[in-house]
Structure 1
Amino acid sequence: MSSTRAYEVDARITAPGVSEIAAKQSTIRFDSSPRMGDELPGPAELLCSAFAACLLKNVERFSEILPFEQHGASVHVTAERQERPPRFTTIRWTLRLVTDEPPGRVDLVQRNLAKHGTVYSTLAAACDVSGEVMVVRPE
């Protein structure tokens, strides 16, 4: 038996070229202008942000489940878009993980990120997604 969970946001245009998303107790402003703006993230950056959030959330989740000791993480995400038809073709990521865990345990976390991340799995079904974990030893 499969269960489902629903997620909700509300969004609105607040000024020409500026919109905001309301989710839970947060508001996220973004560029909704016809062209690519320089100040606010646009939909593509928000998609990359959701992907990065998925990775970091699951690092924390796997830290408890496995357990896996980590002392922090950061991620860089790049998405490539083609013009016609407009769609993302690739998403590349690099996760910097501060840990003393052995390489085999780090590989397990990387496999679990790809296997159990909701945003990751959804995007991987639509385009090529790949990345690597770079271990940073704690000081």
Structure 2
Amino acid sequence: MLEYSVVANRVDAHGSLARTKDAEITLDTDVKGRLDAFNPAELLLAAVAACMIKGIERIAPVNRFSYRGVEVRLRGLRQDSPPFMAKITYELIIDTDEDDRKLDLMHHNVRKYGTIFNTVSAATKLEGTILRKAKTV
């Protein structure tokens, strides 16, 4: 089994820092919020996006899937009482010339083999679509 560790510390009433390996990220833990850091809900959405992109990085060489770029757009819907992320939707946009069959297979594999994707989807409704990036002229 793989094991992960993060240490987070409160800096002041406006924010905290989370650290792992040689990386750190500023956390929005200010009650009033702050624009220069991710709040906990945004971190959850970012974790899902990172999982999906990392999955593509892993799957593409195995399936000989060629692509130029990936964008993930996510929206979380939070209910108030009790506080809960009731639904997360996404658009997974891939800049590729691969056919629809390979695009659908990529989507299937991203959903099937993503650790964070599977964890979050077990806890809340997580659904979305995969799209080919529109060609610009």
TM-score range, shorter chain: over 0.9
- Aligned with 1:119: secondary structure? helix
How much does 1:137 deviate? 6.0
1:24 to 21, 24, 29: 21
**TM-score of the aligned structures, taking structure 1 as reference length:** 0.92
Q: What is the aligned residue count?
A: 136
Instruction: Measure, in 2, the Cα distance between the counterparts of 1:138 and 1:101.
Output: 13
2:50 to 50, 53, 60: 53
2:11 to 10, 14, 32: 14
Cα-to-partner distance string for 1:9-37 (whole Å, 9 max, x where unaligned): 11101122210110111110011122433
Question: Partner amino acid for 1:52?
Answer: A
1:129 to 126, 129, 133: 126
Instruction: Tell me the equivalent position of 1:114.
Output: 111
Instruction: Tell me the equivalent position of 1:101.
Output: 98
Instruction: Measure, in 2, the Cα distance between the counterparts of 1:48 and 1:20.
Output: 18
Question: Partner amino acid for 1:124?
Answer: S
**TM-score of the aligned structures, taking structure 2 as reference length:** 0.93
Aligned-residue RMSD, C-alpha: 1.4
Instruction: Tell me the equivalent position of 1:33.
Output: 30
Instruction: Measure, in 2, the Cα distance between the counterparts of 1:135 and 1:80.
Output: 25
- Aligned with 1:75: secondary structure? strand
Contact between 1:18 and 1:32, CA under 8 Å: does it hold in 2?
yes
Q: Which runs of 5+ in 2 are unaligned?
A: none
How much does 1:105 deviate? 0.5
Instruction: Measure, in 2, the Cα distance between the counterparts of 1:35 and 1:97.
Output: 36
Question: Partner amino acid for 1:101?
Answer: E
How much does 1:138 deviate? 6.4
